[in-house]
Amino acid sequence: MRVNFAPSIAGTHQQSATGGATSLSFEGAPDFSPTRVYTPSSTGFPPSAAKPGAVAKAAYSPFVKLSDGTVLDAPIVATGDAADTKTHTDTGDRVLAIGAGKNTVTLLLAHGFFNGSHVIYLSTEASDPGVASIERATYVKSLDASSASSEIAIIALANGQTGPKNPEAQGLAFLALDGNLSNDATAENAAKDGSPRNIIATFNAGPTAAAYTPLWAANVGAWSAAAVAAHRNVQQRSVASVSAAAAKGDITAPDGKSFGPSGFVVNCPIVGYVDKAPY
């Protein structure tokens, strides 16, 4: 099927599906009709208001179990009779266009880092409603049950540097103040950097391929006031550098406690490396 091999998803919260691997009938689907809300606070993050634009129905999971026991990561991105344009409410908030006649979909990708390199990935579901709003993802509360299969980290920094042309910019405050959080997911806006530039712990090729999973345990960190004052809150591009900053006390959890898992998961299949990132 030309997809990533990720055996760990066999332990995720799943829905059953009938049919072949490329033509499925699902038990449940997301409701794409809500209007997504993200209203930044004066500091950008945390927001003053946030509501996901897509909410999973009870039976829905992006992880689908076939009759032979195979599990696929198969997020639903549109429902109904999708036309060849995005002019309706039955698509996800990352969908830019549907090519129904060609079985294609154009999605807004996310940009981040792995081991110092630029990577791109999809961001389709989150088990926290606020994170689903930030990520333009579907809110799937039941994915919390998959925590045992999502021990690999994705790191988001709450209060990195900001500024639309700042090469050190990174984090949730940067995304809220300078990135693209508009509901207008047009091709023009898609060209903007709409990512907090998160850091991932594994890649689906090379030495870390055996540990790869698309379901990540979110680790949200915050720079300490001392680190911000001393301008040590520079862009981080690897788990090792974040861990080193945390060991020195420069990065903690947002509430000041030790940096670590934040208690929610996100479904973020990796697409690949990029030679030239948009920042």
| Residue-wise pLDDT tens digits, 268-279 | 999 988 877 666
Full DSSP string of 72-98? EE----B-SS--SS--SSSB-TTEEEE
In a domain? residue 202: yes
In a domain? residue 192: yes
Indicate if the pLDDT at residue 187 is higher than 70: no
Q: Cβ distance 57 to 140 under 8 Å?
A: no
In a domain? residue 111: yes
In a domain? residue 94: yes
Other residues' Cβ atoms within 10 Å of the Cβ of residue 111: 18
Rounded Cα gap, residues 103 and 82, in angstroms? 11
When pLDDT is cut at 50, 70 and 90, the band that residue 91 belongs to is confident
Whole-angstrom CA distances from 75 to 15, 206, 276 are 11, 25, 27
Average pLDDT over residues 53-57: 94
Whether residue 46 is preceded by a cis peptide bond, meaning omega within 30 degrees of 0, is yes
Mean pLDDT lowest for which of 124-128, 130-134, 163-167?
163-167
Number of compact structural domains in the chain = 1
Q: What is the pLDDT of residue 21?
A: 64
Q: Where are the beta strands (DSSP E) in 6-65?
A: 15-20, 23-26, 30-31, 37-39, 49-51, 55-56, 63-65
Q: Cβ distance 148 to 261 under 8 Å?
A: no
Name every residue whose Cβ is closer than 8 Å to that of residue 173 and which is 6 or more positions away in sequence.
43, 44, 45, 158, 159, 160, 162
In a domain? residue 278: no
Other residues' Cβ atoms within 10 Å of the Cβ of residue 8: 19
Bigger pLDDT: 101 vs 224: 224
pTM here is 0.91
Q: What is the pLDDT of residue 211?
A: 86
Among 11, 30, 190, which Cα is nearest to 108's? Answer: 190
Indicate if the pLDDT at residue 191 is higher than 50: no
Q: What is the CA radius of gyration of the chain?
A: 18
In a domain? residue 188: yes
Q: Two tokens at 238?
A: 């690897």
Name every residue whose Cβ is closer than 8 Å to that of residue 15 and which is 6 or more positions away in sequence.
26, 27, 28, 59, 60, 61, 63, 64, 65
In a domain? residue 1: no
When pLDDT is cut at 50, 70 and 90, the band that residue 96 belongs to is confident
Among 182, 185, 165, 162, which Cα is nearest to 174's? Answer: 162
Domain that holds residue 223: 7-273
Pairing between strand 30-31 and 55-56?
antiparallel
Question: Per-residue pLDDT tens for 202-215?
Answer: 998 888 888 889 99
Indicate if the pLDDT at residue 87 is higher than 70: no
Other residues' Cβ atoms within 10 Å of the Cβ of residue 257: 8
Q: Where are the alpha helices (DSSP H) in the chain?
A: 129-135, 172-178, 187-190, 225-229, 239-247
When pLDDT is cut at 50, 70 and 90, the band that residue 150 belongs to is low
Q: Cβ distance 200 to 121 under 8 Å?
A: yes
The average confidence (pLDDT) of the chain is 88
Q: Two tokens at 136?
A: 């333009």
Q: Where are the alpha helices (DSSP H) in 179-220?
A: 187-190
Q: What is the pLDDT of residue 18?
A: 87
